[in-house]
Amino acid sequence: MIGGASHGGTIGRRSAAAAPPRAASRPEPSRIVSAGSDGAIGRRAWSGPPGRRLAFFAAAALAAAAAFLPLWGFRMSAPQYPGESLHLTVTARAIGGDVHEITTLQKYIGVRFPTRLPELHYLVPAILSLAAAFLVAGLLAGRRRGRYVAWGAFALSVLFFAASAAVLQKRLYDVGHDRDPHAPLRSMHDFTPPLVGPAKIGNFTVWSYPHAGAGLLIAAAGAVAWGLRARRERGPRSLDGARG
Amino acid sequence: MNRKSTLLILLAVAGTVAFMRTVGCGSARTARSAAAEKVYVAPGEHDKYYGFLSGGQSGSIFVIGIPSCRLIREIPIFEPRAAYGYAIADSDPRRQELIRTGGLWGDTHHPALSETDGVYDGRYVYINDLANARVARVRLDYFEADKIAKIPNLQGAHGIAVLSPNTRLLVVNGEFEQPTDGMATNPAPYTSVIAYLDPETMQTKFEVRVPGNIDIADTSKDGRYSFSTSYNLEQGKDINQMTQLDRDAVVAVDVPLAEKAVAAGKGHVVNGVPILEPSENPGVVTMIPVPKNPHGINVSPDGKYVIASGKLSPTVSIIDAHTLKILAEPEVGLGPLHTTFDGRGNAYTSLFIDSQVVKWNIEKAIKGAPDYIVDRIDIHYNIGHLQAVGGASMKPAGDYLLALNKLSKDQYLPVGPDLPEDQELIDISGHKMKMLASFPTPPEPHDAEFIDAKILSPRVKQVYTPAPDAVSEGRETVVRTGPHSVTVNMTMLRSAYTPDSFTVREGDQVTLHLTNVETIRDNIHGFALPDHGLNLQLPPGDTRTVTVPAGRPGVYWYYCTNFCSALHLEMRGRMIVQPKDSTIPIPDWKSAQNVKGTVPGVPSTGAVQ
């Protein structure tokens, strides 16, 4: 692995004191040590690939940035809006874009533009918590229990994605179903815009898509996953090396 | 001759005739389709040029796309126009401004586009009102008149030109000569003035007194001179007297010299404007004698020549724009009125009596070469002005020329005795002129100028930035402001007025302060109030204020006149007028939709609660 030696050395220096008990409790490190492949890793149960700490820190930074960027976007186009598609962007703090025009249009088909979204209050804390979890995972990358924290952070992010997707999809379902029965065009069929992709709503084609913030969050989760996966790859290879 | 040979001969003749006809019609068809292709602009595609045609006695400007010849818009200026809700209501400030400056109609003749470095910059188009001595400035970002100025001491504001190359001044000719004291008591001969206006403030800065009737105007490309044709040096009052002299004049005014004289206090202030007398200010005015009763005056794009068209003389006078000497007076045809240019050394002169455009080469005409006439093309009929694209600027495009004709006769389907005006678009890109298309308009375009869409269209705004006094959503109110006055602050948004009803009392003056709170282009709403003489049209973001008397007791439905949305027909509201002696209380009203939502960025007022 690129840069393995130098990174391993860093981890080794910092966790020198913890080395003896761990070496005693686990058989693998001694084997690695005996193989002489990497002394630093040998003393560490959870130290792993060199980019890992960096990956966790990067994940933390990406997630923190995501809290301030648009998370989800909607683009609406219709024949009578040539070259001027309407846009909505959901950030963790507000809904922005062509809100005025879209609320005006929605009255015709009785869509209740959400004026109360309690989940938005939890969004910034949730994303910042994720970032904090990634940060801690990065800080603890050299420590024994760091891997549990990392796995925990990853699981949190997956949970966050699942919950967000569920809430968003519920909101989108409501938009298309929980309509004002007294709306002028109530005869229009109910609809459910997908999380990602196009939906035909009246004369509009509505595209839902993850925005920059969601992209960063996904990238952050990806970085954490990479860090975790790298550990798994690294281990067997070292063992193989020891066996060989 | 037997029957067989007779049949053969007949067949041969028929075949020849058929062949000739096919070939003949074929070439005509080819020419037609070539012309059609030149002016065809497919649906959804845009024209290459904006054409600004004066509306004549319509008091407006017609905006035509070139080369398609499609009418895109009419800009109402000096006349109320219900189609645009323009100056219709008695209390409309635009109507009051028109009344204050001269009346509810105008006679627009010459659109003059603002210039920077001798080319059109797309900021403004200025236009005269001949009838009431006014000049209007039209902002080309919004296509609306933003200033209308009355010119003192002048009647018949005819010729108008911006001072090239940077629109430093606006030159306006007074055509109808006046007693010098302005009172009809002075027995001295009548005179005219040329007015010089500040193009920003539209204030008349100074005037120069000149003899005769001052007709058409242009300026030298270096900003030194303004040129005007002057007919009736005889100072006659009827046609006989007015056409006695063999020569009238081109009046050249040395503008910087005139400004110096004004700055030195040489002007006689009349009605707040300093007037320069030529006799007291030698050098300011130069009279260049040209054949009698000249009409058009046009400076060539290179700034070298001034072409005065003879009208009653079949000649044009070519004057050196710097030395003011006449270089040549070539014959061009009968009734030469105006001249325009292609930037390739050719001039095009309209011939009113011949009903033709004549293309001639300037240098060849000056040298006296016999072949200075290049081409002639028939016009239908009695052409007045003509204008090539950019012909009055320093950069003519040399592609299209518009003939603005006084009579249409047989050119269109008969529509009764009041015939439309006729315009014809001519391709001047080649050696020979080619007729491309014609189009009718309401009365009556005189002159036109064209600007490249690439320059103007990026400047154009299609939604107003809300004014400081705009009514915003959730802030609508109905407030009694006095014992007999009520103010309604109303918004309009697809497809409702807020408030959708209000109550006043007979004898009240109702002030309607309206804002169209739409933010998307073309969501225009009208506001018509039956039996109250009120019709407004508000484009998105626009705010208008009018006051109407409440009128007789009853229920009046105000409604949207500009088809706006699927619920356009439902877009209406009530003004309820209670009888004078009614004791039913009328409380003030405030928009009840001020409930704050919890989602930042989402106005709760726009949402369905």
How does pLDDT run across B381-415, given as a tens digit for each residue? 999 999 999 999 999 999 999 999 999 999 999 99
- How much is the mean pLDDT over chain B? 93
Position A162 in a domain: yes
Token output for A27 = 């058989």
Please give the order of strands across the beta sheet that includes B501-505.
B501-505, B572-578, B554-559, B525-529, B534-538
pLDDT of residue A21: 41
> Residue B494: closest CA among chain A residues belongs to which residue?
A104
Q: How far apart are CA B271 and CA B263, in angstroms?
A: 17
Q: What is the mean pLDDT of residues A18-45?
A: 41
Token output for B336 = 């030469």
Position A19 in a domain: no
Distance from CA of B597 to the nearest CA of A (A): 5
Interface contact A94, partner B, CB < 8 A: yes
Encode burial over A213-240: b for 16+ CB neighbours within 10 A, e otherwise: bbbbbebbbebbbbbbebbeebeeebee
The β-bridge relationship of strands B572-578 and B501-505 is: parallel
User: Does the pLDDT of residue B29 top 90, yes or no?
Assistant: no
User: Does the pLDDT of residue A4 top 70, yes or no?
Assistant: no
Q: What is the pLDDT of residues A118-134, one digit of tens each?
A: 888 888 899 999 999 99
> Do residues B284 and B324 make contact, with C-beta atoms less than 8 angstroms apart?
no
Q: Is pLDDT larger for residue B21 or for residue B477?
A: B477
Facing A100 at nearest CB: one of B519, B565, B570: B519
Token output for B603 = 């106005």
Facing A114 at nearest CB: one of B570, B599, B606: B599
> Residue B604: closest CA among chain A residues belongs to which residue?
A115
- Put simply, whether the predicted model's pTM sits higher than 0.95 gets the answer no
Position A37 in a domain: no
3 state SS of A96: strand
Q: What is the pLDDT of residues A87-100, one digit of tens each?
A: 999 887 788 899 88
Position A59 in a domain: yes
pLDDT of residue A147: 79
Position A27 in a domain: no
3 state SS of A221: helix
Position A161 in a domain: yes
First CA to last CA distance, chain A: 18
For chain A, what is the domain count? 1
What amino acid occupies position B524?
I
Encode burial over A70-97: b for 16+ CB neighbours within 10 A, e otherwise: bbbbbbbbbeebeeeebbbbbbbbebbb
Which domain does A71 fall in, by range?
48-229
Position A214 in a domain: yes
Q: How far apart are CA B220 and CA B252, in angstroms?
A: 10
Distance from CA of B47 to the nearest CA of A (A): 18
Interface contact A182, partner B, CB < 8 A: no
Q: Is pLDDT larger for residue A229 or for residue B206?
A: B206
Position A177 in a domain: yes
